[in-house]
Amino acid sequence: MREILIVGAGKSTSVLINYLLDQAETEQLFLRIGDLDLSNAKKACGNHPKCEAFELDVFNSESREPAIKRADIVISMLPARFHIEVAKDCVKYGKNMVTASYISDELKALDPQVKEKGLVFMNEIGVDPGIDHMSAMQVIDRIRDKGGKILLFESFTGGLVAPESDNNLWNYKFTWNPRNVVVAGQGGVAEFIQEGKYKYIPYHRLFRRTEFLEIQDYGKFEGLANRNSLKYQSIYGLENALTLYRGTIRKVGFSRAWNMFVQLGMTDDSFTMKDSESMSYRDFINSFLPYSPSDSVELKVRHNLKIDQDDIMWEKLIELDLFNPDKKIGIKDATPAQALQKILMEKWSLSKDDKDMIVMYHKFGYELNGEKKQIDSTMVHIGKNQTETAMAKTVGLPVAMATIMILNGEIKNPGVQLPIQKEVYGPILKKLESHDIKFKEKETEYLGYNPFGEVGN
């Protein structure tokens, strides 16, 4: 019997745990699920005989170390900043580790020790990062194997609400960590390269610099730049590509509307607000507006944002109940971002019957035998319900599959890594297809980077 320790039993773990329990008999697996909230771990285990729930405090070495020491492999489903606590113990006790998060600088610094001990620390093996890496590298390697040269690579992913559950003016609901949505793009500048020119978008301009994407059967979307696309030049081996751009997908119109919050300062997470606990929604938005002895809060908002009363942007603000004088923020010493998150969660949380949707889009421009071609690769996956969401499925399945492959010695290249090797992405992408997570490809003539049909650079 091989023991898998899963640290953290949040919403994203449901599909991961169910998949591993389904494989428990044939793969000889036993799961131990540790969470600070024991009820979460018990709920995740259910009454399965191959699963044990226990209380685990990742910041308490007496709680953490014995659990890691006895495991055969460790899956950390904690927030990314907490993985390092688990990782250090995995090095200490010689345990392989799997996470769905981006590789932090602290984790990368462990690479020499991980390699010295012959361990596999597989990271970025969820959906984004994860399936995006694997599906992109599969096409890139295929083009290279034929002798082709990559000219352009663009990649976009979005966690959205499914069309049948899309019933608000923002065409958006929270399908993942709401905080990450509210503070997205802060703390840096978006960096990328287009047609050989380096481009930069500071945060205050991020939501007004979008490009349009067309997904067959699902219509038009918009893409906005992620923070740093340039690091993928070396990761994907695209140092000679003329265009390299990674971004986030939203429905058209979302970014323009979100920019209203950015311009007012409501997404700021750098300071706390006085008396936020008793502050009303109306007081909250008014705190970002100039004083006027006569103008209403509504009038000041429209004046400052330069929107008319019949503008759809105004209707979107009204829909969020932002001007309600009776509803309270109810959070002591809240930052503006925390207060905004509280307001949005009231309107954008998935209801019982809602379904979510993952949309992924890759564009590859390449040259082969003197001809320039373009491949558009798209994946859309719709969730089943509130528990088996598309997000939980696209994160959990590749994590579970990689874990079993490491246990079985099918992934053995040591080091702190992400899934860009053929022996990793090939089998996992094939298995994902049986779970209806598959890509459609369309090949056309390559015309260069030209999102709006304009000429210039």
Instruction: Report the share of the chain in percent with pLDDT over 90.
Output: 93
pLDDT of residue 451: 53
Shared-domain flag, residues 230 and 153: yes
Domain ranges, residue 290: 258-348
The model's confidence at residue 11, banded by pLDDT at 50, 70 and 90, is confident
For helices 254-264 and 297-305, give the axis angle rounded to 10 degrees.
Answer: 110
Shared-domain flag, residues 280 and 335: yes
pTM: 0.92
Q: Determine, yes or no, domain membership for 376.
A: yes
CA pair distance 317, 297, nearest whole angstrom: 12
Number of domains in the chain: 3
Model confidence pLDDT, tens digit, residues 229-277: 999 999 999 999 999 999 999 999 999 999 999 999 999 999 999 999 9
Q: Determine, yes or no, domain membership for 68.
A: yes
Q: Give the burial string for 51-63 (b: 16+ CB within 10 Å, else e).
A: bebeebebeeeee
Model confidence pLDDT, tens digit, residues 355-378: 999 999 999 999 999 999 999 999
- CATH code for position 13: 3.40.50.720
pLDDT of residue 388: 86
28, 34, 35, 40: CA torsion to nearest 10 = 40
Shared-domain flag, residues 58 and 42: yes
pLDDT above 70: residue 317: yes
Shared-domain flag, residues 107 and 173: no
Model confidence pLDDT, tens digit, residues 93-111: 999 999 999 999 999 999 9
CA pair distance 399, 214, nearest whole angstrom: 29
Model confidence pLDDT, tens digit, residues 151-202: 999 999 999 999 999 999 999 999 888 999 999 999 889 999 999 999 999 9
Q: Determine, yes or no, domain membership for 421.
A: no
Model confidence pLDDT, tens digit, residues 135-152: 999 999 999 999 999 999
Q: Determine, yes or no, domain membership for 267.
A: yes
Shared-domain flag, residues 95 and 83: yes
Shared-domain flag, residues 147 and 167: yes
Shared-domain flag, residues 266 and 314: yes
Choose the final residue of a domain: 94, 122, 150: 122
Shared-domain flag, residues 112 and 180: no
Shared-domain flag, residues 234 and 336: no
Shared-domain flag, residues 105 and 42: yes
Q: Determine, yes or no, domain membership for 176.
A: yes
pLDDT of residue 377: 97
Shared-domain flag, residues 357 and 298: no
Q: Determine, yes or no, domain membership for 383.
A: yes
Q: State CA 82 to chain mean position distance.
A: 17
Shared-domain flag, residues 136 and 240: yes
User: What are the backbone dihedrals phi and psi of residue 359, each rounded to the nearest 5 degrees, phi first?
Assistant: -120, 130
Q: Determine, yes or no, domain membership for 426.
A: no
Choose the final residue of a domain: 90, 122, 154: 122
Q: Determine, yes or no, domain membership for 234.
A: yes
- Least Cα distance to 71 among 17, 165, 114, 7 occurs for 7
